[in-house]
């Protein structure tokens, strides 16, 4: 298939693109290469893609309306995987406008492009952060998510609502995937695994928020990518059993679906740090701090619906995943 993948120079975007290319798809990878984090890392990821004959890179911001209109009009994509976004809960406290531009305006441009060019299926990245103030565990797609605790979370919830509108009005099949703390080689430098590894190797203390009383459903990138591609391959359909009197937020009488995609196994933060210490062969000095604004103490994905839909079962342990990241980190940074 001919696939548009936005955020191709990103961590998940690069890994997904590689998998698609390996199986014979044609991938047009879009990215604006912004400086939210090290641009060199993004360029190095792209180098792994641009040598492939079925890959073409387009440097473009999803918020560029005319540029996105031209791209969709010229290329006639069959499927779209939309991963481009302004990421990061904490950064949204400092630069809220970046989230509106990329996550709201940009997503509108993607939806319009899909609508007007007859895209068969839009698969897009949502986030576990939409669960916000929810305390019922594990997090279920069938529960209400109306209490976000960061602007980043609010924009991702907005994406789901916008997607449903286009599925309802225009029959555009859309599937949203709520990612749960993705990690692995080539990961983002602002994520905990990267920050902890660098600090421990440099002999600096690591910041441990909520005094270590945190849990995260850490999900290895290869498992995420397997789920993303399986979902893209199965076009969203209306739920024939949908009952508007008992509305299910995860489905609709429109071709619309939302799924959690996680490891279904929350790990205490201190255990996560212990795995990093084991992989590095070096102990961490910990600076215990209170919970940060916009953060939540725990995430835990119920993935039953995704398993039923596409057979998704994550298969990477936290020990193996961290060991692979550390091996990559040592090689990349010498």
**pLDDT recorded at residue 129:** 93
pLDDT at 292: 83
* Cα gap 326→258, rounded to integer Å: 32
**Taking residues 185-194, what's their average pLDDT?**
94
> Using an 8 Å Cβ cutoff, are 146 and 133 in contact?
no
Q: What is the pLDDT of residue 24?
A: 97
**Helices assigned H by DSSP within 131-256:** 151-170, 192-202, 221-233
Q: Alpha-carbon distance 193 to 209, whole Å?
A: 14
Find out whether 152 and 129 touch, Cβ atoms under 8 Å: yes
3-state secondary structure of 88: coil
Strands in 174-179's sheet, in edge-to-edge order, are 55-59, 26-31, 2-6, 79-82, 121-127, 174-179, 256-261
d(CA 240, CA 274): 47
Give the tokens for residue 15. 């890994």
CA distance 226 to 125: 14
The pLDDT of residue 88: 83
What pLDDT is stored for residue 91 in this prediction? 85
Greater pLDDT, 89 or 18: 18
The predicted-structure confidence for 240-260, as pLDDT tens digits, reads as follows 999 989 889 999 999 999 999
Q: Return the H-helix or E-strand segment holding 214.
A: none
What tens digit of pLDDT does each residue of 111-167 get? 999 999 999 999 999 999 999 988 899 999 999 999 999 999 999 999 999 999 999
In this prediction, residue 43 carries a pLDDT of 97
Whether the link from the prior residue into 138 is cis, omega within 30° of 0, is yes
> In terms of pLDDT, which residue wins out, 214 or 30?
30
- In 3D space, the residue among 71, 78, 81 whose CA is nearest the CA of residue 14 turns out to be 81
Per-residue pLDDT tens over the stretch 257-276? 999 999 999 999 999 999 99
What's the confidence (pLDDT) of residue 101?
Answer: 96
Q: How confident is the model at residue 280 (pLDDT cuts 50, 70, 90)?
A: very high
Measured from the Cβ of residue 308, the count of other Cβ atoms closer than 10 Å reads: 10
| CA separation for the pair 180, 40 (Å, rounded) | 26
Which amino acids are annotated catalytic?
Answer: 152
* Arithmetic mean of pLDDT over the chain: 95
Instruction: Write down the pLDDT at residue 278.
Output: 97
- Write down the residue that tokens 């940060």 correspond to: 292
Q: Considering only residues 219 and 294, tell me which one the structure prediction assigns the higher pLDDT.
A: 219
Confidence of residue 293 (pLDDT cuts 50, 70, 90): confident
Q: Per-residue pLDDT tens for 64-111?
A: 999 999 999 999 999 999 999 998 888 888 899 999 999 999 999 999
H/E element, 124: strand 121-127
pLDDT, position 46: 97
Is the CB of residue 325 less than 8 Å from the CB of residue 187?
yes
Q: Residues near 243 by Cβ (< 8 Å), separated by ≥ 6?
A: none
Does the pLDDT at position 173 exceed 90? yes
Q: What's the length of the chain?
A: 334
Between CA 37 and CA 16 the distance in angstroms is 20
For residue 20, give Cα distances in angstroms to 41, 49, 91.
Answer: 21, 11, 31
Angle between helix axes 269-280 and 192-202 (nearest 10 degrees) is 50
Pairing of strands 79-82, 55-59: unpaired
């Amino acid at each position: 298939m001919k696939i548009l993948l936005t955020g191709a120079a990103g961590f998940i975007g690069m890994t997904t693109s590689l998998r698609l290319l390996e199986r014979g798809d044609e991938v047009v990878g879009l990215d604006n290469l912004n400086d939210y984090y090290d641009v060199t890392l993004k360029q190095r990821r792209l180098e792994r893609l641009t040598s492939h004959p079925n890959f073409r890179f387009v440097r473009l911001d999803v918020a560029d309306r005319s540029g996105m209109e031209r791209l969709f009009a010229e290329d006639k994509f069959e499927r779209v995987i939309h991963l481009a976004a302004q990421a990061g809960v904490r950064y949204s406290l400092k630069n809220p406008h970046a989230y509106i531009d990329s996550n709201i305006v940009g997503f509108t441009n993607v939806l319009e492009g899909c609508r007007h060019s007859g895209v068969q299926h839009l698969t897009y990245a949502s986030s576990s952060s939409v669960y916000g103030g929810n305390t019922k565990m594990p997090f279920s797609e069938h529960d209400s998510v109306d209490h976000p605790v960061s602007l980043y979370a609010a924009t991702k919830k907005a994406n789901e609502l916008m997607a449903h509108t286009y599925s309802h009005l225009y029959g555009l099949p859309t599937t949203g995937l709520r990612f749960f703390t993705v990690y692995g080689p080539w990961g983002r430098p602002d994520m905990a695994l990267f920050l902890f590894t660098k600090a421990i190797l440099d002999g600096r203390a690591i910041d441990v928020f909520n005094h270590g009383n945190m849990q995260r459903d850490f999900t290895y990138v290869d498992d995420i990518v397997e789920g993303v591609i399986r979902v893209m391959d199965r076009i969203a359909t209306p739920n024939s059993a949908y009952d508007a009197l008992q509305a299910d937020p995860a489905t609709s009488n429109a071709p619309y679906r939302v799924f959690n995609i996680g490891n279904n196994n929350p790990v205490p933060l201190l255990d996560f740090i212990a795995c990093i210490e084991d992989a590095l062969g070096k102990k961490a000095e910990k600076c215990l701090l209170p919970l940060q604004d916009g953060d939540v103490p725990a995430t835990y994905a119920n993935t039953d619906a995704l398993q039923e839909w596409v057979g998704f079962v994550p298969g990477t342990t936290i020990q193996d995943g961290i060991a692979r990241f550390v091996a990559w980190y040592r090689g990349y940074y010498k």
